[in-house]
């Protein structure tokens, strides 16, 4: 349900009440002095906020019919996204970056965000989970219950689409991040009132307003970099963003191969993607399948599964472009020598083929790095970790900048 011209959206059993909140310079070290929260300006829970810019209904994008081959520049399939950027000065354009542990700490996504926002405007880091278990380089996030600091595992019960079965739901209602937190869950006592502090660490993380995606039974108010939540229900995410420009959400899924989206509630995703004007979905998966699948047939099965995820997300967001980023070079030890996993080049080849057949863009991290054995060189020059699989922070920055530039350079 939408009330046009108002900052109120209702998903199935989900309410979004947004209010503009300009960021204040909050001293993170004073937050433990919780009495200041007694002065939080309260908001009538069911009050509709001030009118927002109405996002015009866009026609379904026409996917170009072109003959593709090994020389095709797949950015041709980002044309719908590029077109939406011309309207970013009037209303926000949202980008969701899903991926595995290479995305943790907001290392790669941060660079893509900065590239897009520096050219097309926009502020804030976008979506964050209420309980952030892995710190980021962009926002310092803390939780307080009953005036006391708690670590995320002591906070509300979390459910993750990519987690162990004990942390999964059966109804698919995870929200756009594939994870959610339940206020007042019986497994965690005292979590019926939560205070979350999300303090920007870098200038690029500064924002214009808060947003909360939660069940209608969850109430909240804002003060500076602090949001206070009360009640019982699910919190699907909190966001620091702007009214216009590009919003880029970092959504890492540790250990995930990428075969999880079809387990998420389609109606909930469709509603979020439409109401939030999602115009680009980035999928960065595949690497976690490499160490456990040593046969071409099993890699082909994984890519086939990823094809189904692409089709599902396209059905959820028909107006959005999709970009798939393949795995980096990855090393394994054979007879005492570090070499590229044999299936990395094969998966890269199959992923590009799948992408072109599905009319989506493809960026090959493997080839951009230098192909087989390049991870060794990256280690030597201080851009990769000792595990031979992950970039370090410097390497992730380099990769993120390359992806951001590649995306922007495709704009006519």
What pLDDT, on the 0 to 100 scale, is given for residue 65? 56
By CB neighbour count within 10 A (0-12 exposed, 13-18 middle, 19+ buried), where does 30 fall?
Answer: exposed
Instruction: Identify any residues that bridge with 179 across adjacent strands, giving them in sequence order.
Output: 160
Q: What residue ranges in 100-202 does DSSP mark as E strands?
A: 126-128, 139-145, 148-150, 157-160, 179-183, 193-200
Range with the poorest average pLDDT among 121-130, 262-271, 286-295, 376-385: 286-295
CB 299 within 8 A of CB 345: no
pLDDT in tens, 151-199: 988 889 999 999 899 999 999 999 999 999 998 877 777 677 899 999 9
pLDDT in tens, 302-350: 999 999 999 999 999 999 999 999 999 999 998 889 999 999 999 999 9
Check pLDDT > 80 for residue 200.
Answer: yes
Check pLDDT > 50 for residue 363.
Answer: yes
In this prediction the pTM is 0.85
Domains observed in the chain: 8-27+58-408 (3.40.50.1110)
pLDDT in tens, 47-86: 222 223 333 344 454 455 566 676 889 999 999 999 999 9
| 233-241/179-183 β-pairing | antiparallel
Range with the poorest average pLDDT among 84-88, 97-101, 130-134: 130-134
The mean pLDDT of the chain is 85
What pLDDT, on the 0 to 100 scale, is given for residue 159? 95
What Rg value do the Cα atoms of the chain yield, rounded? 21
Closest CA to 290 of 227, 230, 344: 344
Closest CA to 253 of 145, 168, 375, 154: 168
What pLDDT, on the 0 to 100 scale, is given for residue 70? 67
By CB neighbour count within 10 A (0-12 exposed, 13-18 middle, 19+ buried), where does 189 fall?
Answer: exposed
Total Cβ atoms within 10 A of residue 140: 17
The token pair at 243 is 């009214």
pLDDT in tens, 256-293: 999 999 999 999 999 999 999 999 999 999 999 999 88
Q: What is the DSSP code (8-state) at residue 223?
A: E
What pLDDT, on the 0 to 100 scale, is given for residue 185? 75
Residue with tokens 């026409």, as numbered in its chain: 62
What pLDDT, on the 0 to 100 scale, is given for residue 191? 75
Closest CA to 116 of 85, 160, 161, 153: 85
Phi, psi of 238 (to 5 degrees): -125, 155
Q: What is the DSSP code (8-state) at residue 44?
A: -
Phi, psi of 237 (to 5 degrees): 160, 160
pLDDT in tens, 217-237: 999 999 999 999 999 999 999
Q: What is the DSSP code (8-state) at residue 253?
A: -
pLDDT in tens, 240-261: 999 999 999 999 999 999 999 9
Check pLDDT > 70 for residue 211.
Answer: yes
What pLDDT, on the 0 to 100 scale, is given for residue 215? 95
| 226-231/193-200 β-pairing | antiparallel
Q: What residue ranges in 79-217 does DSSP mark as E strands?
A: 92-99, 126-128, 139-145, 148-150, 157-160, 179-183, 193-200, 209-214
Check pLDDT > 60 for residue 26.
Answer: no
Of residues 152 and 36, the one with the higher pLDDT is: 152
Check pLDDT > 50 for residue 37.
Answer: no
């Amino acid at each position: 349900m939408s009330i046009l011209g108002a900052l109120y959206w209702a998903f199935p059993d989900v309410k979004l009440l947004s209010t503009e909140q300009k960021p204040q310079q909050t001293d993170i070290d004073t937050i433990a002095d919780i009495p200041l929260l007694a002065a939080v300006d309260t908001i009538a829970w069911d009050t509709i906020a001030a009118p927002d810019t109405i996002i015009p209904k866009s026609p379904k994008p026409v996917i170009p019919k072109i003959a593709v081959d090994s020389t095709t520049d797949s950015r041709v399939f980002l044309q719908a996204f590029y077109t939406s950027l011309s309207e970013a000065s009037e209303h926000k354009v949202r980008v969701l970056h899903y991926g595995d542990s290479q995305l943790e700490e907001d290392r790669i996504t941060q660079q893509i965000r900065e590239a897009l926002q520096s050219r097309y405007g926009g502020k804030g880091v976008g979506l964050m989970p209420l309980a952030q278990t892995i710190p980021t380089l962009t926002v310092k996030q803390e939780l307080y219950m009953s005036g006391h600091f708690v670590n995320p595992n002591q906070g509300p019960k979390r459910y993750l689409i990519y987690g162990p079965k004990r942390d999964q739901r059966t109804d698919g209602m995870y929200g756009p991040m594939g994870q959610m937190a339940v206020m007042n869950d019986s497994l965690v006592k005292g979590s019926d009132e939560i205070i979350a502090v999300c303090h920007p660490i870098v200038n690029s993380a500064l924002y214009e307003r808060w947003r909360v995606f939660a069940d209608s039974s969850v109430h909240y108010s804002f003060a500076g970099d602090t949001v206070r939540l009360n009640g019982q229900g699910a919190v699907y995410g909190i966001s620091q963003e702007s009214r216009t420009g590009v919003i880029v959400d970092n959504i890492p899924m540790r250990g995930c191969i990428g075969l999880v989206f079809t387990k998420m509630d389609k109606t909930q995703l469709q509603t979020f993607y439409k109401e939030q004007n999602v115009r680009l979905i980035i999928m960065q998966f595949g690497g976690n399948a490499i160490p456990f699948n040593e046969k071409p047939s099993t890699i082909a099965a994984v890519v086939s599964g990823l094809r189904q995820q692409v089709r599902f997300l396209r059905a959820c967001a028909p107006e959005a472009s999709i970009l798939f980023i393949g795995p980096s070079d990855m090393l394994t030890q054979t007879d005492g020598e570090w070499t590229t996993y044999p299936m990395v080049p094969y998966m890269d080849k199959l992923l590009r083929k799948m992408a072109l057949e599905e009319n989506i863009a493809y960026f090959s991290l493997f080839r951009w790095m230098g192909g087989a054995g390049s991870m060794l060189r990256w280690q030597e020059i201080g851009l990769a970790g000792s595990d031979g699989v992950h970039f370090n922070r410097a390497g992730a920055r380099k990769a993120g900048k390359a992806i951001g530039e590649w995306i922007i350079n495709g704009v006519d």
